[in-house]
Structure formats: C-alpha cells, structure tokens
Amino acid sequence: MVDERFEPKIVAFLCNWCSYRAADLAGTARIKYEPNVRMIRVMCSGRVDPTFVLKAFALGADGVMIAGCHPGECHYLEQNYKAMRRFNMLKHTLKAMGVEEGRIRLQWASAAEGVQLASAINEMVDQVRELGPLNWAQNWHEDGEVEAAIQRIEEEHAEVMEVPA
C-alpha cells in the first residue's frame, strides 16, 4: 500500500523582474521543482502587503514564500528592503499566533538564478511537509456544541412562555 503523502499548498509571491523570471528560467531549462507552489506575480516584493500573506494562511495555505530581487537590485530602488522589514514584522507576529517559522520564507533570486529558486522551493516544500497541514480555519471551529447550546436556550424560553399569565 502506498501511504498518502501530505502535499502542502505553498503560495509564492514572485517579483516580476527577478524571481518570476528565475522561475521562468527554471521552466525553460527543465529544472525540476516540486509542484506544490502556486505562484503569484507581483511587480515587486515591496508590493506584498502583509494582508496577502495572512489571507493566504487564513484561506488554507500551508506555507507562503515571498521572493524578490537581491538587496540593492530592486527595480524600484528600496522596496525590497521594505519587504525585508515587513517580513521580519510578519515573522514575529505569526510566531506569536502560533504559526511555525518554517511556513514563511523570504527568498532573493535574480533572473539568472533558476536553479537557486528551484532548490529553495524544494527545500521549503520539504520543510512544510514535515510540519504538516496548517488548516488554519479549524482554529475557530466550535465542534457543533454551539447549536445544541442555543437550542437549549430556545427550549427553556419556550417553556417559560407557556406558563399562563
């Protein structure tokens, strides 16, 4: 019997000018990487609002990667430094929320670094596979006790209402 291997869902935000091209290069050069990433092209790593990352986790991602040009090479001058600082804020906040550090990764990759990006993706997929499913929305699931509890209140109130005036 083949045991079911957990296939993590990873959302990756890739900068149009470097890392997205690196991914493209990996493709044309037939460098294999794990199919678990869903890539989203953004104009710059600085475009990645922390909301995107939080939303990805809330909607079921098991990991999120942000990839951009190497420091000093951002096409919008300083924006990847901003991405770097935001990433750090996010990392601390996610840690406080109980999201393991291995589920978020900031990766620099120039347009020529198809191999590096592919291996970073593989590494991350392995790491997240090890951590297991995140299943974030499970965290606010109340086990169906709620409906029973509310029904009890309804019944109780109905009983009181029946008492003749």
Partner 1 sequence: MSAAKKGKLANYWAASCGGCEIAVLGINEKILDVAEAFDIVLWPVAVDAKVHSIEKMADKSIDLCLFNGAIRTSEQEYMARLLRRKSKVMVAFGSCAHEGCIPALANVSNREEIFQTAYHDTPSTDNPNGVRPQTETEVEEGKLYLPLFYDTVKTLDQTVEVDYYLPGCPPEPERIWDAIVAILEGKLPAPGSVIGATTTVCDDCPRTREEKKIKEFKRTWEIIPDPDICLLEQGLVCCGIATRAGCGALCPTVGSPCIGCYGPNEGVEDFGARMMTALASVIDSDDPEEIERIIQEGIPDPIGTFYRFSLAASQLRRKTLEGLDPSGASA
Q: Which is nearer to ligand FES, 106 or 125 (CB)?
A: 106
Taking CB within 5 to 8 Å according to partner kind, which of partner 1, ligand FES, none is near residue 69? ligand FES
Strand partners, 11: 38, 64
Candidate list 64, 65, 69, 99; residue touching partner 1; CB under 8 A = 99
Strand partners, 41: 14
Which stretch in 22-30, 50-58, 70-78, 116-124 sits in contact with ligand FES by CB under 6 A? 70-78
CB 8 within 8 A of CB 62: yes
Taking CB within 5 to 8 Å according to partner kind, which of partner 1, ligand FES, none is near residue 79? ligand FES
Q: Which residue has the tokens 């045991």?
A: 3
Which stretch in 6-14, 30-38, 44-52, 108-116 sits in contact with partner 1 by CB under 8 A? 44-52
User: Could you give phi then psi for residue 141, rounded to 5 degrees?
Assistant: -85, 130
| Using rule CB under 8 A, residue 43 touches partner 1 | no
Chain centre to alpha carbon of residue 164: 59
Q: Please state at what angle helix 50-58 crosses helix 79-97, rounded to 10 degrees.
A: 40
Chain centre to alpha carbon of residue 72: 26
**Binding-site size, ligand FES (CB under 6 A):** 13
Closest approach of Cβ 126 to partner 1, in Å? 21
Distances (CA, A) of 142 to 53, 83, 136, 145, 147: 25, 36, 13, 6, 10
For partner 1, the binding residues (CB under 8 A) are 49-51, 54-55, 57-58, 71, 81-82, 84-86, 88-90, 92-93, 96-99, 136, 138-140, 142-143, 145-146, 149-150, 152-154, 156-157, 160-161
